[in-house]
Amino acid sequence: MLLTISTTHSPATDIGYLLHKHPARMQSFKIAFGQAHVFYPEAHAERCTVALLLDIDTVGLTRRPHGRFGENFALAPYVSDRPYVASSFLSVAIAQVFSSALSSRSKERPELAETAIPLEAKLSILPCQGGEQLLRRLFEPLGYKITVERHILDAQFPAWGESRYFTVTLQNTCRLSELLTHLYVLIPVLDDEKHYWVDEAEIEKLLKHGENWLAAHPEHESIVRRYLKHLRPLTNQALAQLCDTDPQQTDETIQAAEEAQVEAPIGLNEVRLQRVTEALKQCGAKRVLDLGCGEGKLLRKLLHEKQFEEIVGMDVSHRALKIAHERLHYDRLPENEKKRLRLFQGSLNYRDKRLAGYDAAAVIEVIEHLDLPRLAALERVLFEFARPWTVVLTTPNREYNVQFENLQAGRFRHKDHRFEWTRDEFQSWATRISERFGYAVTFHPIGPTTEDVGAPTQMAVFTQKGQEKHIT
Ligand code: SAH
């Protein structure tokens, strides 16, 4: 299985910096299903080509408990195309061997990583049941000029007709990371025999690598469906999340995290995070979720508390997670700290088994960003399926808004807020939820409190009935 990538950007050998692979060396890497070799068949200032050659361990694969081979008939291992064609294995190898280039990171040439350069990718053998038309529908909207050569089944017997195998050349002027993410997602889309087990983690990978282009691709529905092996519930979830992560909405919600402007004069954000941290500590939680973690301000506080052994931040926005990752200096954390913290993309609108089994969850200034039908989905996702012992949830108290000097009367604190509740509205919602799902609830004002309008933030602490013993 061979993929080559060439550039004529001058000096062309700089592509070696982006790939983190020296043009003069041949390197080999062990991967789960064989070996990946990287080398440069040509390396001049005018043109440079890197080759990724996969040597798949066919014998090893047949021994895998749920290997693809041998499932259908006894000779399957001997007639399989897996070792020779571009398949989902190639995506795994790209992610492992070219990981920094895939995510556009380059220490030596950061500007080049962000620059569109002339690139040409050649896939020596690519299977595609849907034929040339499908190949064009997938790659042309992304700006590729595509050349395909279809192979016949057997040169000695031309009458047998054409095979489903193509040699494909893709040309585009784009960032190397774009080319790699397109290949990462679209090769498994063409591969009908994906080797991987499809679950929520695959949705995460798909949305991460499709972040800046998939939602706008005219074939996004069929890409998602094929990538997730036509599994309808996962496909629906991924398509819905793809709409949730619409870049414009994401931008707005990130800014929403900075409604700080209104709340800053009273230092509300800091007080709120402090009170939430105390509530989480008090309930005795060791494993905690921060749902809608945004840029990770609460996560940073939680990391300082040794009581929390496992801390998970989830957000629907990749951009927010990227910022959190950077602000927490995740890459530079000592190993034992790294083990305590995990960030992943996900939506509170969808049941997600990664959220089950935690002691506590914080949902801080998130619910007011959801339309009411989505809030209804969140209620079940959080209180019925994730079902932590304790939920600490905050939202603005609308009554207090008259106290903010820099907020026009009748306006919400941020334009992305779908609602802001009075104390009564919040308490009756929270009481209804706790009765429905078997929790007890207490309410706590946060920030400067006045008799008439209460405090700017309202916090509810929900405790699962029967688990009160865990509260100290
Ligand atoms: N909790 C953070 C951020 C609050 S802003 C803090 O207190 O600073 C609201 C956050 O909720 C944003 O980061 C937004 O991306 C996230 N969000 C909005 N809808 C979501 C959903 N359905 N699932 C998960 N996160 C969501």
Residue 246 domain flag: no
Q: Tokens 């061997």 belong to which residue?
A: 97
In this prediction, residues 423-427 reach a mean pLDDT of 97
Instruction: List the CATH number of the domain containing 453.
Output: 3.40.50.150
Q: Is 364 in the pocket of ligand 1 (CB under 6 A)?
A: yes
Nearest to 292 by CA among 375, 400, 402: 375
Q: Do the strands 310-315 and 287-291 form a parallel or antiparallel pair, or are they unpaired?
A: parallel
Buried b (16+ CB within 10 A) or exposed e, 228-244: bbeeeebbebbbebbeb
Give the integer Cα–Cα distance in Å for 71 and 336. 42
Q: Do the strands 390-396 and 360-364 form a parallel or antiparallel pair, or are they unpaired?
A: parallel
Distances (CA, A) of 225 to 82, 85, 236, 244, 364: 22, 21, 9, 17, 33
Q: Tell me which of 276 and 413 has the higher pLDDT.
A: 276
Residue 333 domain flag: yes
Q: Determine the residue of 259, 273, 369, 417 to mutate for testing ligand 1's pocket, defined as the one with the most ligand atoms within 8 A of the Cβ atom.
A: 369
Q: Do the strands 48-56 and 34-43 form a parallel or antiparallel pair, or are they unpaired?
A: antiparallel
Ligand 1 geometric centre to CA of 233 (Å): 24
Neighbours of 265 (CB within 10 A): 11
Residue 255 scores a pLDDT above 60:
no
**Structural domain ending residue among the three candidates 196, 211, 244:** 196
Please count the structural domains in the chain: 2
Ligand 1 geometric centre to CA of 351 (Å): 16
Measured by CA distance, the residue closest to atom 16 of ligand 1 is: 292
Residue 232 domain flag: no
In this prediction, residues 459-471 reach a mean pLDDT of 80
Contact 311, 303 (CB under 8 A): yes
CA 202 to chain CA mean position, Å: 9
Residue 461 confidence (pLDDT): 98
Give the integer Cα–Cα distance in Å for 12 and 3. 18
Give the integer Cα–Cα distance in Å for 3 and 229. 24
Residue 215 confidence (pLDDT): 81
**Structural domain ending residue among the three candidates 179, 196, 213:** 196
Ligand 1 geometric centre to CA of 454 (Å): 24
Residue 23 confidence (pLDDT): 96
Contact 367, 253 (CB under 8 A): no
Residue 262 confidence (pLDDT): 79
Residue 221 confidence (pLDDT): 86
Instruction: List the CATH number of the domain containing 162.
Output: 3.30.1610.20
Nearest to 222 by CA among 177, 174, 185: 185
Measured by CA distance, the residue closest to atom 9 of ligand 1 is: 366
Give the integer Cα–Cα distance in Å for 247 and 242. 10
Residue 182 domain flag: yes
Residue 196 scores a pLDDT above 80:
no
Q: Is 321 in the pocket of ligand 1 (CB under 6 A)?
A: no
Q: Which atom of ligand 1 is nearest to the CA of 320?
A: 13
Which pair of tokens denotes residue 94? Answer: 């790209």
Give the CA dihedral 340, 345, 324, 308, nearest 10 degrees.
Answer: -20
Q: Which atom of ligand 1 is nearest to the CA of 348?
A: 23
Q: Determine the residue of 366, 412, 419 to mutate for testing ligand 1's pocket, defined as the one with the most ligand atoms within 8 A of the Cβ atom.
A: 366
Q: pLDDT above 70 covers what percent of the chain?
A: 89
Residue 158 confidence (pLDDT): 83
Q: Is 467 in the pocket of ligand 1 (CB under 6 A)?
A: no
Measured by CA distance, the residue closest to atom 7 of ligand 1 is: 364
430 and 332 within one domain = yes
Q: Is 397 in the pocket of ligand 1 (CB under 6 A)?
A: no
Q: Which atom of ligand 1 is nearest to the CA of 347?
A: 23
Q: Do the strands 145-152 and 162-174 form a parallel or antiparallel pair, or are they unpaired?
A: antiparallel
In this prediction, residues 406-420 reach a mean pLDDT of 84
Ligand 1 geometric centre to CA of 251 (Å): 11
Highest mean pLDDT among 5-14, 129-138, 200-209, 212-221: 5-14
366 and 263 within one domain = yes
Distances (CA, A) of 417 to 147, 371, 432: 48, 9, 22
Residue 68 confidence (pLDDT): 46
Q: Is 52 in the pocket of ligand 1 (CB under 6 A)?
A: no
274 and 150 within one domain = no
In this prediction, residues 26-50 reach a mean pLDDT of 95
Residue 97 scores a pLDDT above 60:
yes
Highest mean pLDDT among 53-67, 283-297, 312-326: 283-297
Residue 294 domain flag: yes
Residue 355 domain flag: yes
Q: Is 369 in the pocket of ligand 1 (CB under 6 A)?
A: yes
CA 160 to chain CA mean position, Å: 44
Dmax over Cα atoms in the chain, in whole Å? 91
Contact 324, 296 (CB under 8 A): yes
Ligand 1 geometric centre to CA of 244 (Å): 12
Which residues, other chains included, contact 143 with Cβ-Cβ below 8 Å and sequence gap of 6+?
172, 173, 174
Phi, psi (rounded to 5 degrees) for 326: -70, -45
Q: Is 86 in the pocket of ligand 1 (CB under 6 A)?
A: no
Ligand 1 geometric centre to CA of 277 (Å): 17
Q: How many Cα atoms occupy the beta-carbon half-sphere of 424 within 13 Å?
A: 2
Q: Is 349 in the pocket of ligand 1 (CB under 6 A)?
A: yes
In this prediction, residues 180-209 reach a mean pLDDT of 84
Q: Is 313 in the pocket of ligand 1 (CB under 6 A)?
A: no
Q: Is 407 in the pocket of ligand 1 (CB under 6 A)?
A: no
Residue 219 domain flag: no
Question: Quick check: helix, strand or coil at residue 246?
Answer: coil
Residue 257 scores a pLDDT above 80:
no
Residue 365 domain flag: yes
Q: Is 275 in the pocket of ligand 1 (CB under 6 A)?
A: no
Residue 471 confidence (pLDDT): 44
Q: Tell me which of 238 and 16 has the higher pLDDT.
A: 16
pTM comes to 0.58
Helices 318-327, 247-257: axis angle to 10 degrees equals 40
As a whole number, the mean pLDDT across the chain is: 87
Ligand 1 geometric centre to CA of 253 (Å): 7
Domain residues for 124?
Answer: 2-196
69 and 183 within one domain = yes
Residue 250 confidence (pLDDT): 47
In this prediction, residues 373-390 reach a mean pLDDT of 93
184 and 274 within one domain = no
**Structural domain ending residue among the three candidates 174, 196, 218:** 196
